[in-house]
Amino acid sequence: MPDMSASASLAMTHLVPLAKEVDENKVTPGVLGFIVFAVMALAVWGLMKSMNRHMGKVDFQETPEQGASDKGAGSGSGGKASPAKG
């Protein structure tokens, strides 16, 4: 176990000077930030394309039921609402 703490402290001593070299007033996301943003943009584009494809398959016209004309005439319902089918 002493080797792990020694290597950790050695890594910290090498990384601290690198962190001091970065200008605190000029920090940019860099290449990794661009790659992450580009992947997210491609994912959103793919999801929107898929959503458009699926929405194109949806039929927004409601088809009337076969017994709708009988219910509209009021034959036997007596004006009372029928229970919902579900």
| pLDDT, tens digit (0-9, with 9 covering 90-100), for 23-79 | 778 878 889 999 999 999 999 999 999 999 999 988 878 878 887 655 555 555 455
- Report pLDDT for 29: 85
Answer yes or no: pTM beyond 0.85: no
- For the chain, the straight-line distance linking the first and the last C-alpha, in angstroms and rounded, comes to 65
